[in-house]
Amino acid sequence: MYGAEAIHPFDMRVPAGVPLLASWWWRALIGGITLGLVPLLCVLWGFIDAPMGAWMEARWPTMLLGASALGSPSAWLMASAAAYLAAAALRQRDRARWAFLFLCCIGAAVVLCLLIDGCAELGHRVLPGVRSDTWSHLAPSVRCATIAAAATTCWLRWRSARRVWIAIVLLVCAAEVARGVVFASDAISGAWLGVLMALLVPWAWWRVHPDTLPGVTPAAAWVPSP
């Protein structure tokens, strides 16, 4: 139990049951990566998206194109909702909480991507023209966001299989680009938004209910050291 143990807020090691963002070390890391992605995405948007998509579409194995189906948002949302209802009906409280957390993380990632896509489309309509056409493909991939949110949530629960979750996310993102349905920048931004939602949702829950986190047994409270 970590309920009475003081943890330094800048320590990267966080006990079970406490979200990573409870530590300032992890907040700084996630914030730094987010800021660092901005210039990378700008370069991709302006110069690399189109040639990279064409290159991957020509060289990506056809048999692996179906991997993008692993990021289907409807499938993940329905599966997590069904798992929640089944666990709740069987009165399996811990499983029900974890399934609900899973559902919230994926739902938040999907909604955020759709909102950004809608804002970009609105800007394209308000400011038409060649320059707007060049930059109008700002549309984070919903499938990449979905699989990233799901994989991050699973990684936080089963960390021993973290390489498997990372490989699945990379495979789905590459398949989406190779299919020609999204650009590389859309896949990267979508995947990162999925990771952010999978980290922010548990942290927000934990801030409201500091003594418990869905899916964690036993529950643990984080006590910052003075």
pLDDT 10s digits, 146-193: 999 999 998 888 777 788 889 999 999 999 988 888 888 899 999 999
In this structure, what token pair is assigned to residue 27?
A: 């907040």
Distance CA 215, CA 17 (A): 8
Q: How far apart are CA 194 and CA 143, in angstroms?
A: 9
| Residue 210: predicted pLDDT | 63
**What is the pLDDT at residue 224?**
42
- Contact yes or no for 153/101 (Cβ under 8 A): yes
Q: Which pair of structure tokens corresponds to residue 209?
A: 């209910």
What pLDDT, on a 0 to 100 scale, did the predictor assign at position 137? 61
CA angle, residues 4, 7, 9, in degrees to nearest 5 = 140
Strand bridging mode 6-7 / 223-224: parallel
pLDDT score, position 8: 60
Q: What gap in Å lies between CA 114 and CA 87, rounded to an integer?
A: 29
| In the chain, beta strands by DSSP E | 6-7, 223-224
List, for the chain, all residue ranges whose pLDDT scores fall below the cut of 50.
1-6, 129-136, 213-226
pLDDT, residue 130, reads 44
C-beta of residue 3 within 8 angstroms of C-beta of residue 220: yes
Calculate the dihedral angle through the C-alpha atoms of 114, 20, 92, 70, rounding to the nearest 10 degrees: 40
Say if residues 174 and 181 touch (Cβ distance below 8 Å): no
pLDDT at 126: 62
Tell me the C-alpha distance between 210 and 58, whole Å: 51
| Rounded-to-integer distance, Cα 206 and Cα 199, Å | 11
How far is 89 from 219, CA to CA, in rounded Å? Answer: 22
Q: What is the pLDDT of residue 157?
A: 80
Residue identified by tokens 């009165």 is 91
